[in-house]
Every structure is written in structure tokens, then in C-alpha cells.
């Protein structure tokens, strides 16, 4: 997984996280060991796959998962769907690192629409970073409940947003 390259036809960047977004955080109810990397429901995965497979749309990941772990998740748990590169980061994981990665990608690629789906997304941090860089893409931030992950309703909302700004 490398730095994303976007052609002039790819104008939309969809950014995903793993834990709490694609893979809900398991409850800690004492009923045994939590099962990690259990993806959200199949209809949600199908809707996200359809979204990022559209012409002009590119997927990028901002996650603390190591590259091999993310590749395993995509291959073994997601059936090869939602395969996309990591967005660039300084690997510092300081507060706001995910938003900084998105800003850097927007600056490098010129995308004009960003959809960020992440249980830890902070819209104000992203918007501040974009503003400081002089960037003005259309932005939708969806922050799923970390115990549920992204929902079908949220995936459909993202699709409607992209349709509206194109």
C-alpha cells in the first residue's frame, strides 16, 4: 500500500478507518475474549464497495493497523473489497494525525470532494487544516458509533453527498 495517485477523473477521496468503523469495537462485558476484525454487516460492506468503485472515486485508509494487518483484513475478512492505499502520515500519531494525512493527500492530488468515515474523525480539525492549506474541497465527515461501526444508512448518506456535489 503506497501513497495514492489520483488521475484527473478521480476527484473524490473516501477515507476509512478500521477499528470502530469497518470493524466495530467489541463489547467488554466479561463474556470472553473480544473478537477483533469482525467487519460490519455484508450490506454495509457491499454499499461501501459500490461507493469506492464508482468512476472518479478513490479509497484511502487512515488507521493505526500495520500494512500487513490491513492487507489481511481486506483479503480475509472483506473478500478483497475496500482495497486501497494508506494515506501518507508522519507516523507520529499525535493528536490530529489522521486529519493531517487527509489534508496532505488533498493538497497532493487536488481532489475536490472528501468523505471521511471514522469513529475518531474530528471535522473541526480537518476543516482547520484544509483552511490553513488554502484548500476548499466539499467535505462530509461521518463519525460512526464505535460499538456499531459504519451503518448502511451512513454509507447511503455518503453516496447521496457525492451525487449532490458532482
160 located within any domain: yes
Average confidence (pLDDT) over 6-20 = 80
Residue 162: pLDDT over 50: yes
Count of domains for the chain: 1
1 located within any domain: no
Give the C-alpha separation, 97 to 122, whole Å. Answer: 11
5 located within any domain: no
Q: What is the dihedral of CA 18, 22, 27, 30, to 10 degrees?
A: -70
pTM: 0.89
Domain harbouring 145, CATH code: 3.40.50.1000
55 located within any domain: yes
Write b or e for each residue in 110-124: b if 16 or more Cβ atoms lie within 10 A of its Cβ, otherwise e: ebbbbbbbbbebbee
pLDDT tens for each residue of 92-144: 667 889 999 999 999 999 999 999 999 999 999 999 999 999 999 999 999 99
Per the structure, the complete domain to which residue 26 belongs is given by 12-165
Residue 3's pLDDT is: 46
**Surface-to-core class of residue 52, CB atoms within 10 Å of its CB (0-12 exposed, 13-18 middle, 19+ buried):** buried
* The three cell numbers locating residue 89: 502520515
pLDDT over 90 percentage in the chain: 63
2 located within any domain: no
22 located within any domain: yes
103 located within any domain: yes
99 located within any domain: yes
Per-residue pLDDT band at 7 (split at 50, 70, 90): low
pLDDT, greater one: 9 or 148 = 148
Residue 6's pLDDT is: 52
Residue 64's pLDDT is: 86
Residue 81: pLDDT over 70: yes
pLDDT tens for each residue of 33-61: 555 667 888 999 999 999 999 999 999 99
Amino acid at each position: 500500500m503506497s501513497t495514492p495517485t489520483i488521475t484527473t477523473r478521480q476527484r473524490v477521496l473516501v477515507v476509512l478507518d478500521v477499528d470502530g468503523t469497518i470493524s466495530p469495537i467489541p463489547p467488554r462485558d466479561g463474556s470472553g475474549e473480544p473478537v477483533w476484525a469482525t467487519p460490519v454487516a455484508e450490506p454495509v460492506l457491499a454499499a461501501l464497495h459500490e461507493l469506492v468503485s464508482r468512476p472518479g472515486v478513490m479509497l484511502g485508509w487512515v488507521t493505526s493497523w500495520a500494512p500487513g494487518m490491513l492487507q489481511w483484513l481486506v483479503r480475509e475478512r472483506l473478500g478483497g473489497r475496500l482495497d486501497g492505499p494508506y494515506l501518507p502520515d508522519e507516523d507520529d500519531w499525535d493528536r490530529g494525525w489522521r486529519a493531517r494525512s487527509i489534508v496532505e493527500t488533498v493538497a497532493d492530488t487536488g481532489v475536490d470532494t472528501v468523505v471521511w468515515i471514522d469513529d475518531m474523525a474530528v471535522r473541526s480539525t480537518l476543516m482547520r487544516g484544509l483552511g490553513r492549506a488554502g484548500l476548499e474541497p466539499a467535505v462530509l465527515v461521518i463519525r460512526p458509533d464505535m460499538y456499531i461501526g459504519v451503518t448502511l444508512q451512513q454509507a447511503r448518506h455518503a453516496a447521496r453527498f457525492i451525487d449532490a456535489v458532482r
